[in-house]
């Protein structure tokens, strides 16, 4: 079964919101819900990626988003770095993961590793 949703814990929700609005836009993600200390992002109105403010956070998370192609992966990386993220692996092939893997990695402002990936690069 596919995963329904995932939550990343952050200490600074406003900073995380600014980052994720910009970084996830190339993947088609936008805010779909927002209340108290939670912000839900999704495509087509259904939130499947949540950012939640907590006084204490867990160790950094790694979340990978499926992209619609190489240009989308590249745009995600540019947007994530422009939004205040830190490069954690520029867009490119990573055949050592598996044939056809193309992805990019950005650390959000709190150290979570956010990835955009395609699995059918030729």
pLDDT of 25-68, one tens digit each? Answer: 999 999 999 999 999 999 999 999 999 999 887 789 999 999 99
**pTM for this model (two decimals):** 0.92
**pLDDT of the residue at 119:** 96
For every residue of the chain, DSSP letters joined together read -----EEEEES-HHHHHHHHHHHHGGGT-EEEEEETTEEEEEETTEEEEEEEE-SS-PSPPEEEEE-SSHHHHHHHHHHHHHTT-EEEEEEEE-TTT-TT-EEEEEE-TTS-EEEEEES---
Q: Domain 6-118 is of which CATH architecture?
A: Roll (3.10)
Q: Could you state, in order of their start, the residue ranges of all structural domains in the chain? A: 6-118
User: Predicted confidence band at 3 (pLDDT cuts at 50, 70, 90)?
Assistant: confident
């Amino acid at each position: 079964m596919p995963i329904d949703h995932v939550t990343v814990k952050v200490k600074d929700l406003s900073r995380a919101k600014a980052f994720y609005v910009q970084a996830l836009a190339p993947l088609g993600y936008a805010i779909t819900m927002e209340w108290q200390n939670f912000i839900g992002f999704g495509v087509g109105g259904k939130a499947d990626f949540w950012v939640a403010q907590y006084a204490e956070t867990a160790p950094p998370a790694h979340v990978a988003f499926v992209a619609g192609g190489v240009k989308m992966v590249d745009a995600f990386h540019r947007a994530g770095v422009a939004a205040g993220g830190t490069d954690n692996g520029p867009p490119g092939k990573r055949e050592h993961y598996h044939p056809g893997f193309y992805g990019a990695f950005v650390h959000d402002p709190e150290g979570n590793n956010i990835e955009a990936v395609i699995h059918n690069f030729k």
